[in-house]
């Protein structure tokens, strides 16, 4: 696979796939432009090379039809401000009008195509749609890490129809950090896995248990592990069908000499409402009619001490229902412990990213991934479909 700086893009029409699925408020103003800023190095490199820059992305889930509230127009406005030069907005991502706008681009010009998902063919990985996108450019560069675990026309199908393609600087850095942590970690290597459902994290836990020295399991997924060991966890979230696999992870940790940490106490409530009464109880004293919604203070101390001598930390998933203040103390405390460690720290995207920013610790983290689903698949030991596709540029063209 090649990267953008391995390819001659001077004066070429370069089609970028970015992940500009950014949050918008009710007035359609961007409330967090992290994903836009993350790809600026790739854009600026192309501009410095005198390339004609064409950008495509998705936003939201319009389900294959134009939805004005999901237009990428706010992104064009924000890009214009960040780059200090005009970013033209196309009315669509394919069609004769778009082709004319592309043909009219001068070296150093930038055109942002309209939301890819206004066409149902995008998520279906339709060959005709992919070929039409490919026909817009000489070179294709994928820098949409947040979408790299998807098999869509704009990041997988397109590579068959264009002869020159590669990855941008964002994907390069994402892959580099995860490779460094997973394949050549400084030890002790600690993984923190949280979140709500075991089903979404079990593959990652099973893969990581064979690589780490310590594993910390918190959040909703911990209750499946606890119940599998015979604890009464009340009405806490449990995936009964996965308790056997949870026990296999515990067994594997024991056989491999990996220290596995689970909560020893938790914050419980009768329901998830913000004003619900809360109590802190040891795991052995769970109320059968209440549910665990955060790790307790003893667990915070235990987990924090486990991180004390870490040299590499990977964290994916919060320790509780952190969106509510009553159940957010555990996640915030672990964020502080990770940030204040003397380790290489990598945080998976999604909720964990939000939690780190909410705790005010983002500046102390070595690397915060821009893709929750994509980073999770890397932790599962999988090859991302969009990354794999870049190794087969132009298969259909040559065939």
Q: Which pLDDT belongs to residue 157? A: 97
Sign of the CA dihedral 131, 117, 114, 39?
negative
Domain limits, CATH 3.40.50.1260, in the chain: 4-173+384-398, 187-342
pLDDT of residue 350: 77
pTM, two decimal places: 0.91
What pLDDT was estimated at residue 200?
85
The residue whose two tokens read 């957010």 is 328
* Catalytic residue check, 35: yes
In tens digits, the chain (399 residues) has pLDDT values of 899 999 999 999 999 999 999 999 999 999 999 999 999 999 999 999 999 999 999 999 999 999 999 999 999 999 999 999 999 999 999 999 999 999 999 999 999 999 999 999 999 999 999 999 999 999 999 999 999 999 999 999 999 999 999 999 999 999 999 999 999 999 999 999 999 888 889 999 999 999 999 999 999 999 999 999 999 999 999 999 999 999 999 999 999 999 999 999 999 999 998 889 999 999 999 999 999 999 999 999 999 999 999 999 999 999 999 999 999 999 999 999 999 999 999 998 678 988 999 999 999 999 999 888 899 899 999 999 999 999 988 766 655
Catalytic residue flag (residue 330): no
Q: Which CATH topology does 187-342 take?
A: Rossmann fold (3.40.50)
Options 12, 17, 35, 329, the catalytic residue = 35
Buried b or exposed e, range 341-369, using 16+ CB within 10 angstroms = bebbbbbbbbbbbbbbbbbebbeebbbbb
Enter the tokens of residue 201: 């994290």
- Choosing from 99, 151, 197, 364, the catalytic residue is 197
Name the catalytic one among 373, 381, 382, 394. 373
If one looks up domain 4-173+384-398 in CATH, what number appears?
Answer: 3.40.50.1260
**Cα atoms in the 13 Å half-sphere on the side-chain side of 242:** 20
**pLDDT given for residue 373 in this prediction:** 87
Q: Is 275 a catalytic residue?
A: no
Task: For residue 167, report the phi and psi dihedrals to the nearest 5 degrees.
Answer: -105, 155
Residues 237-246: contacts with CB under 8 Å, at least 24 apart: 237/196, 237/197, 237/291, 239/197, 239/198, 239/199, 242/198, 242/199, 242/202, 245/198, 245/202, 245/206, 246/198, 246/202
């Amino acid at each position: 696979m090649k990267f953008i700086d391995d390819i001659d893009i001077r004066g070429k029409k370069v089609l970028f796939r970015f992940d500009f699925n950014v949050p918008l408020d009710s007035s359609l103003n961007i409330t967090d432009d992290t994903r836009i800023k993350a790809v600026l190095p790739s854009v600026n490199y192309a501009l410095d090379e005198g390339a004609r820059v064409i950008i495509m992305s998705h936003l939201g889930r319009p389900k294959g039809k134009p939805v004005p509230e999901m237009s990428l127009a706010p992104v064009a406005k924000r890009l214009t401000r960040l780059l200090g030069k005009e970013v033209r907005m196309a009315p669509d991502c394919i069609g004769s009008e778009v082709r004319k706008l592309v043909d009219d681009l001068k070296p150093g010009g930038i055109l942002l195509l309209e939301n890819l998902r206004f066409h149902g063919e995008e998520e279906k990985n339709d060959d005709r749609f992919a070929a039409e996108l490919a026909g817009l450019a000489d070179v294709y560069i994928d820098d949409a890490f947040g979408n790299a675990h998807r098999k869509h026309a704009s990041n997988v199908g397109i590579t068959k129809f264009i002869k020159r393609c590669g990855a941008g600087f964002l994907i390069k850095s994402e892959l580099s950090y995860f490779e460094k942590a997973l394949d050549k970690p400084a030890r002790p290597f600690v993984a923190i896995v949280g979140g709500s459902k075991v089903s979404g994290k079990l593959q990652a836990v099973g893969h990581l248990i064979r690589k780490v020295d310590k594993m910390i399991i918190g959040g909703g997924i911990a209750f499946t592990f606890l119940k599998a060991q015979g604890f009464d966890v009340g009405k806490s979230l449990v995936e009964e069908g996965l308790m056997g696999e949870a026990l296999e992870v515990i067994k594997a940790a024991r056989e491999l000499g990996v220290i596995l940490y689970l909560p020893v106490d938790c914050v419980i409530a009768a329901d998830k409402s913000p004003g619900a009464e809360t109590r802190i109880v040891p795991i052995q004293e769970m109320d059968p009619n209440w549910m665990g919604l955060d790790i307790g203070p003893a667990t915070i101390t235990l987990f924090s001490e486990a991180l004390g001598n870490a040299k590499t930390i990977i964290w994916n998933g919060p320790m509780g229902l952190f969106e509510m203040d009553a159940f957010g103390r555990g996640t915030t405390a672990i964020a502080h412990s990770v940030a204040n460690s003397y380790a290489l720290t990598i945080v998976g995207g999604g909720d964990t990213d939000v939690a780190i920013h909410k705790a005010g610790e983002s500046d102390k983290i070595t690397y915060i991934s821009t893709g929750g689903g994509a980073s999770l698949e890397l932790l599962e030991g999988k090859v991302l479909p969009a990354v794999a596709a870049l190794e087969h540029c132009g298969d259909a063209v040559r065939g």
